[in-house]
Structure 1
């Protein structure tokens, strides 16, 4: 399962100093020769620091495909966590950097991990290479990885959020699989899909957060389907809680639970320690908003068999007239080590790994926007083939959603992101437990977040 929360404040003290010494403190240090290709006659070996077992990641397929295309570049995989534990990986990576070990390509699993290492000078900007090759990242990839005006990584896999649907329930209610819809329509579907009363009641939807300072995506659903402004803080570090879509997100959640009674009560989620997988697969809820890391499970697994038909709908929009479908997206960030002595070759591998390499990997849907429909169809077939009942999945709906989704812009995490999450979680709980109203919840969240911002100003 994907890690859900941004890592913040990972590095400090001696380690931070060691990283800066080992990586070079300036953004533009040793950036090589722009987008130049390495000399085809010169043999080069690059170190690729990554994580995940061969079964999880198919690294040999990626590396073999790359070395076939670029026989002069040998890739030495440095796997810092065979079990795919990203926390173990981060610790070992930081120690390696502090020891000034040779590094060329570094993989990060989440935006927080990526942004923190950029701030410490561990990775080099790729802008010169991108400019020389002549493409624009937002047109080439579905995830925009820009930080502070520069590109320090290119995105690998593409896991947008979407809505999983119990198609059997939809058919019973005479509802079509949405191909383009709004949060108002999502709310209407949830009401129509809710059935029964008491312990056996079936809810239209289940929201898996916020809880314990995590899964905060569920308090910014209407914020996340915009090109920018999808998070609680803006890129300049100021508060974004006066954004009307924050209020809309909170009101949506409140009204669906308290007025419509179409979403599983928050108190049930907390007291019964509910999880989205059993809620959906046991048919206690007809729809769940979740990330597409579920692609490999929606056809049913040993633990959660599939006894109904499944379809996929896009992340709902705020307004019917919105042209694009944006959502939260998780990805892998492929970056170039600032102390790399093989920057041209490192860039060549980054570019391959985030385009043709993801296809060769046969594990994920790529962030690469140039993927063809038949390639995506083949990838989805391969992913679904690993499930118990792929024939019960509406593959066309899944394909349609994955082709059209885009990510809201990345906001660099701060060292106090977790504190902001805690504040919003606490204020939301007071609201949903009827200890304050929506106006008070918004006001208190704004005031407490502003205090955190002010306290952390340098």
Structure 2
């Protein structure tokens, strides 16, 4: 009996040993990278990288450079439009496993939702890249629950584009520090015939309010109530209303929406003295074939609402935050590409206006690429000041899209004369308060 028990124990131990060996072998096989497996099969690893920038504005050159240098890991760029339908397309692809290895996030709340859905890899599992050291303090805006699920790769630059010839003719110096009241006064001097004093895209209407609110304590006060009625936000809306309806130095919002006004093109035609935009406008301004212009372009920082305003921040920070799909079969290879992209591979993107965020990239090379094709049309001194100002304090917008849309609906009523300013601010606060109550954690 004892001998039988002993034989059974030996047999069991042998079986366990064999099972452990098999599991160990399987685990080792799993650890073997897809790159190594590809080398054995003779086929390269295929990655799909989703982004919102048109391929011809830099991404395709980046991909071509990588593919040439890395025959064992080939990347395909998939364009999605960075709007609600485009982001839905990406999110659907992530949820249904439709070939996404890496993707670009352009807005923190969208990344938060993707993290909660389990569609973004926790990058703390990758140990050989220090995001804070490479990208800087602004990178922390992209942390979700104290972890990085994406590496922000570009500096977000918002500033005022100026028709320097028009400024010179009006005897106005290029501003280095100014207010919206200054801008309003300058716009009156710059308005001439068909030339507007100022133009801006519909997107930029929000940011002066957020820069003031963020600087004065955030969108939510310490007691948890809405801070969207900040006095500086209210004053900015009043200035914009007066520029539309009293000074007539900028189009009314109703006109801009109904005509679908191509404000970037209008500025480059010389039809505005000031244009509030961002770094993406370089891809239009450098294209002298489709957007010919012979005036010199200068740059100014974003104005404060009031001169004594404290804590003012410029919309910006860092963006183009790239995540690795947690369901990707090629995480290690995707990580190799992501590090390469952030630390220099993305440099061709500067030709489309995207300034790399990594400290590993030479700023002089960035500036040269940023103005390629239209170098003679820029005032480089003012450009350097706004791009590389060490004193500039920026913020990354984290207001939920639902609140942004609600606020826009309310101030559009004010700009179209269907609601008073006081009623507008009250409605904005009420709708924000309702949202906060409905989404209490």
Task: Please state which band the TM-score falls in when normalised by the shorter chain.
Answer: 0.7 to 0.9
- What is the rounded CA distance, in whole Å, between the counterparts of 2:150 and 2:267 in structure 1? 35
1:115-149 C-alpha deviation (Å, 9 max, x unpaired)? 33122110022245479748447626678422343
8 A contact 1:140–1:370 mirrored in 2: no
Matched residue, 1:149 = 146
State how far apart, in whole Å, the 1-side matches of 2:55 and 2:418 are.
50
Label 1:85 to 1:441 Cα distance change in 2 as closer, same or farther (>3 A). Answer: closer
1:6 matched residue in structure 2: none
Residue deviations 1:88-135, cap 9 Å, x none? 765564454334467543333444543331221100222454797484
Q: Distance in 2 between matches of 1:228 and 1:152?
A: 26
CA distance, structure 1, for counterparts of residue 217 and residue 63 of structure 2: 33
* Change over 3 Å in CA distance of 1:366–1:335 after alignment to 2: same
Distance of aligned partners of 1:65 and 1:342 in 2 relative to their CA distance in 1, 3 Å threshold? closer
Whole-angstrom distance in 2 between the partners of 1:392 and 1:238: 48
For residues 140 and 62 of structure 1, what CA distance do their matches in structure 2 show?
A: 28
The residue that corresponds to 1:397 in the other structure is 382
Correspondence for 2:411 among 414, 428, 433: 428
Match of 1:365 in 2: 355
CA distance in 2 between counterparts of 1:321 and 1:240 reads 16
For residue 293 of structure 2, give the secondary structure of its aligned residue in structure 1. Answer: coil
Maintained 8 Å contact 2:101/2:328: yes
The correspondence for 1:205, drawn from 198, 201, 206, is: 198
**Is the contact made by 2:121 and 2:325 (CA closer than 8 Å) also made in structure 1?**
yes
TM-score by length of 1: 0.71
Cα offsets for 1:249-308 (capped at 9, x unmatched): 323313433454433333433454433134323433211111221012224544432142
Aligned-partner Cα distance in 1 for 2:128–2:224? 28
Partner of residue 337 from structure 1, selected from 316, 319, 325: 325
- Measure, in 2, the Cα distance between the counterparts of 1:370 and 1:329: 18
Q: What 5-or-longer segments of structure 1 have no aligned partner? A: 1-37, 210-214
CA distance in structure 1 between the partners assigned to 2:227 and 2:360 by the alignment: 33
In the alignment, structure 2 segments of 5+ residues that lack a partner are 1-32
1:444 aligns with 2:432: no
Aligned to 2:10: none
- Aligned mates of 1:294, 1:244 — CA distance in 2: 31
Q: TM-score scaled by structure 2? A: 0.74
Could you say which residue in structure 2 is the equivalent of 1:47? 47
**Aligned-pair Cα RMSD in Å:** 4.0
Q: Which has the higher helix share?
A: 2
Q: Which residue of 2 aligns with 1:124?
A: 121
Cα 1:232–1:322, aligned 2, differ >3 Å: closer, same or farther?
Answer: closer
Partner of 1:80: 78
Kept in 2: contact 1:233–1:239 (CA 8 A): yes
Give distance in 2, aligned partners of 1:130 and 1:256: 52
* Change over 3 Å in CA distance of 1:430–1:186 after alignment to 2: same
Within 2, Cα distance between the matches of 1:39 and 1:291?
A: 40
Structure with larger RCO (C-alpha < 8 A, sep 6+): 1
Q: Structure 2 residue aligned with 1:376, among 366, 376, 393?
A: 366
Q: Structure 1 pair 410/345, CA: closer, same or farther in 2 (3 Å)?
A: farther
The residue correspondences of 1:183-194 to structure 2 (distance < 5 A) are 183-194=180-191
* Total equivalences in the alignment: 397
In the TM superposition, residue 170 of structure 1 has moved relative to its aligned partner by 0.3
